[in-house]
Every structure is written in structure tokens, then in C-alpha cells.
Amino acid sequence: MSIPAALAIYFIIWWLVLFVVLPFGVRSQVESGRVVPGSDPGAPMRTVMRDKVIATTIVAGIVFGLYYLNYAYGFITLDDIPFMPRAVVG
């Protein structure tokens, strides 16, 4: 796998993990009991994006590492997935 391909795959994994991590620990203004006038009551009281970016980077690194190990050693191939059609070899 080339370095640009690895970076592209890591970037995709990072964004997917970010969207999974974003809702963790978020408290809305209604839940905290302090709604700022003129804002949406469901808006978060405070976002801790620095912590979420760090957590996302760590989790994405682990997921990418697992992906790369599978890519390098072939633990799970398309032939191992039962609902995938078998490859036709010429």
C-alpha cells in the first residue's frame, strides 16, 4: 500500500470515527437547565472539541492499524464473507 493511499484511508476512517465520537458527553441547554435566550434549547452547553479530536485520532489510529494488519496478512478476505459473491478466476 502506498503512503498516499494509506493517508487517504486513514483520513476516511478519522472522519467516520469523528462522527461517532461527537455525541459522547454532550449536554443540551435544556438538560443543564440554562437556556440562553435566542438560542435553540437543544444546542449543546459546551463543546469539548479538543478532547474529541484527540480521542478521534487515537481511535482512528487503532482502527487503521487493524485495517492495515488485515491488509498485510489477509486475516479476513472477501471469500470469508458469506454473502459476498465468489471471485471468478479465469
pLDDT single digits (tens) 33-52: 888 888 888 888 888 899 99
Give the pTM: 0.74
Do 10 and 60 touch, CB atoms closer than 8 A? yes
pLDDT band for 79, please (50, 70, 90 cuts): confident
How does 32-65 read in b/e, with b if 16+ C-beta sit within 10 Å?
eeeeeeeeeeeebeeeeeeebeebbeebbeebbe
